[in-house]
A and B are shown apart, each in its own frame.
Chain A
Amino acid sequence: MPPASDLALLVPELWLAALGLVLLGVDLFVGEQNKRTVGWVAVGGLLLALVPTWGLAGAVHRPGTTVFFGSYAVDGFAVFFKFLAIIATTLVILASMDYFRASGDRQGSTQRFEGEFYTLLVFTGLGLVLMAASADLILVALSIEFVSLTSYVLAAYLKGNPKSNEAGLKYFLFGAAASAVMFYGFSLLYGLTGSTSLYVIAEKVATVPAPALTVSLALMLAGFGFKISMVPFHQWTPDVYEGAPTPVAAFLSVGSKAAGFAVLLRVVAVAIAPSGLDYVTLIAGLSAVSMFVGNLLALPQRNIKRMLAYSSISHAGFILIGVAAFGGAFGNTGLLIYLFAYMFFTLGAFFIAALIEARLGSDDIPDYAGLSQRAPGLAFLMALFMLSLTGIPPTAGFFAKFYIFAAAIERSPALLWLVAVGVVNSVISLYYYVNVIRTMYLLPPQDPARIQEPAVLRTALWVTGAATLLLGLYPQPLITFARAAALLLP
C-alpha cells in the first residue's frame, strides 16, 4: 500500500475532484434563474486550487519522481501543466457564463443544464491535470478517455442545435477510433518491454527490435495526434469547433491540445527516446505537413471558428517542432513557453468569436466589418490576438515562435529545413489573420449600432489580452518557470 504521505502531493487533484462533486450538489439547490452561482463557485474553487499547486511548485522534486508505484509523476513538468489546465478552465468558465446568458437573451430561451456545464468543465480540467502527470500507460489511457468522454458531451451541449449534435457525434466517432488504435500501440509497447510504467520501459526499450517499436509508436501517435489535432488526424477539428459551443471550442483548442502534448512528450521523451529510434524525422515530417495543411486550408475560410480551427492545426505543427527538438537546451522549454502563451491569445480570439456570435448570431468574418466603430475595445483586442497568432512582436506569440525556432536551430543542423518551413508558414498565416484586422478596421459597418459587452466575458477578455501583451514585453518569469519545469528525465 502506498504511504499516506503520497496523498499530500495530490492535493490539487483531490481538490479539483471534490470541487466537481460539490458543484453537482450546489447545482441541485439553486433555482433555474441563478445557475451562474454554480459558475462563480467553480471559478472560486479553481482559483483556490492554484494555492496548493503553487506549494508544489515551490517544493523541489527531482525529475522522474513518481508516487503510487511509479504511476503518477509529481515533477515540475506536471506542475506546469496543472497551472495551465486550471487557468484555462477558469477563463473558459468565466466566458461561458456570459456566452449562455447573451445567447439566451437573443434567442429568448435559457440554456438547459447550465450548472452541469460548469461541473463538466471542472472535471475535464481535472482530466487534463491527470493526463499531464500520468507516468504509466494504464493511467495515460484512463486519463485520455476521461478527458475525451467529458469533451464529447461538452461539444454536443447545444441540444437543439443540429450542428452541435453533429460536432459531438463526429468527435465521438473519431475519438473512439483514435483511442482504439492508440491502445493497440500501448499493448504492443507493454508486450515488448513487459511493463506499463514509462520509466521502467525506458530502461528496457533499448533491447526491443526497432520495427516493432516503430509500429507501436505509429499507433500511439494516432491517439496523441487526435488530441493535438495533428495532420493526418485533424479532420474532426473544423467541424467540431464550428458546431460546439464557442467556449468549448476554445477549451478543446487549448486544454486538450496542451495535455495531449504533455502526454506525447512524456511518452516519446521518456519511453521511446532511449531506444535510439529515429523518431525526430517522423515528428519533423508530421510537423511540416501540419503547418502547411492547416495554413493553406485556413486561407479560404469565411467562418471565424473554422478559420481558428485550421489555425489550431497549423499551431500544432509549430509546437511539434518543440517535440522534434527535445533534448536540446531549448526544446522542452520552448514547447512549454509556446503552450502557455498560446493558451492566452487563442482563448482570447475564441472569446471574441463567442461574444460576437452571442450578440449578432453570426460566425462569419464579413460580419466583423466595422467592429472598430461598433466596439473599439473588442476590435483592438482581436487585432492584438491576431498579431500574436501570427507571431509579431511585441506579443506573446512572437516569443513563443522565437523559442521554438531557436530550439530547432540549436538542437541540430538537420532541423534547419523545419525552421525554414515554419518561417514560410508564418508568412502564409499573416494573410488570413490580417484579413480579420482589415475587415474590422477598414470595411464600413453594415449596422452602426454599438455592441454591448457583458461584464464577466469582458473581464476574461482583458485578462487574456493583458497576458498576451505582458508575456510579449516581459517574458522572463515565464522563461524561468518553464526552464525549471522542462526537465523531464531523471
Chain B
Amino acid sequence: MTAYLPIFIHLLLAVLLTAALLGAHALLGGRRPTVAKDEPYESGVWPIGSARERIPIRYYLIAMLFILFDIEAVFLYPWAVAFRDLGVVGLVEMLVFLGVLFVGFVYAWQRRALEWE
C-alpha cells in the first residue's frame, strides 16, 4: 500500500494546484466582458453565422460506413504481411471476414445508403 503513497501525493497536489490557480483567478482577476471578448475564437477570422448549425444525418451514415470499411483495410494489412505463415487457414478466415462485410456492403448499397442526394 505504501508504494502508492507518492502517486496519492501527486494526485493531491494536482487537485490543490488547480483549485488554487482557478480560485486565485476568480478572486483577483475580475471580469469585464465586452462584445469582442465574448465572440467564439475562430483563429483570428471573424466568425460567420451561428456555431449551432444542424448537420444532415447523412454525414453520420457515411461516417459509420467509412469506419466499417476503414477497419476492413486495417485488418487486411497485417494479414497480408503474415500471409505465408498463416497459410490456408488464414486465407479462409479472411474470406469469411470479408464475406460478412460484403453482405453489409450489399445491404447498404441496396438500401441506397451510398447515394448522396
Using a CB–CB cutoff of 8 Å, the interface residues on chain A facing chain B are: 1, 4, 21, 24-25, 28
Contacts and interface: CB of A to CB of B under 8 A. Distances in A.
B89 A28 contact: no
B100 A28 contact: no
Nearest to B99: A21
B75 interface: no
B107 interface: yes
B89 A21 contact: no
Interface in B86-110: 89, 100, 103-104, 106-107, 110
Interface residues of B, number: 8
Contacts, number: 14
Contacts of A28: 106-107, 110-111
A1 B106 contact: no
Contacts of A4: 89
Given A1-B89, A4-B89, A21 B100 contact: yes
A148 B90 CA distance: 31
- Nearest first, the 7 closest Cβ-Cβ pairs linking A and B are A21-B103, A28-B110, A24-B107, A24-B103, A25-B103, A21-B100, A28-B107
14 contacts: A1-B89, A4-B89, A21-B100, A21-B103, A24-B103, A24-B104, A24-B107, A25-B103, A25-B106, A25-B107, A28-B106, A28-B107, A28-B110, A28-B111
Contacts of A21: 100, 103
Contacts of A24: 103-104, 107
Contacts of B89: 1, 4
A4 B104 CA distance: 26
Contacts of B107: 24-25, 28
A241 B69 CA distance: 35
Interface string B64-93: 000000000000000000000000010000
Contacts of A1: 89
A21 B107 CA distance: 10
A25 B103 CA distance: 7
A21 B99 CA distance: 10
Contacts of B106: 25, 28
B96 to A, nearest CB: 10
Nearest to B1: A209
A1 B87 CA distance: 12
